[in-house]
């Protein structure tokens, strides 16, 4: 709790809301990425969703990120990333319909037709 309070206090100092010299900014965990470098991975078919990585994981291009398993046939569809970057979001669903958003990967380069912001 004290760590959170100290971080909030430092943030308010950096913003100039509170007086005092703020501590140095912490280093970024990952380099900043462009908004249109965000890749949304979607379910290619309906099925059970098995994530292979947690948010914050570094994902390489063409690396498997999600398995979607058909509950009737048992066939597995592998969803791979088309860019390298950090997985920064994944859905909480465990059963997906076709086309449902599964997760997002923030890449360092802008993607053609990349969506800048989505809900």
What kind of architecture, by CATH, is found in domain 31-107?
Answer: Beta Barrel (2.40)
Which of the two residues, 54 and 112, has the higher pLDDT score?
A: 54
3-state helix, strand, coil in the chain (%, to 5): 15, 30, 55
pLDDT tens digits, residue range 13-72? 999 999 999 999 888 887 888 888 899 999 999 999 999 999 999 999 999 999 999 999
Backbone φ and ψ of 16, nearest 5°: 80, 10
User: Which ranges in the chain are annotated with CATH 2.40.50.100?
Assistant: 31-107
pLDDT tens digits, residue range 66-98? 999 999 999 999 999 999 999 999 999 999 999
Q: CB-side exposure of 86: number of CA atoms within 13 Å?
A: 12
């Amino acid at each position: 709790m004290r760590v959170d309070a100290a971080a909030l206090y430092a943030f308010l100092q950096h913003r100039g809301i509170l007086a005092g010299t703020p501590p140095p900014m912490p280093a970024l965990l990952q380099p900043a990425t462009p908004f249109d470098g965000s890749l949304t991975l979607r379910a290619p078919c309906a099925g059970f969703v098995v994530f292979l990585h947690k948010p914050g994981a570094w994902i390489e291009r063409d690396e498997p990120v999600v398995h979607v398993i058909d509950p009737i046939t048992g066939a597995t569809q592998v969803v791979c990333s088309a860019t390298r970057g950090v997985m920064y979001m994944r859905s909480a669903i465990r059963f997906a319909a076709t086309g449902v958003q599964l997760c997002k990967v923030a890449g360092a380069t802008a993607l053609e037709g990349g969506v800048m912001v989505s809900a």
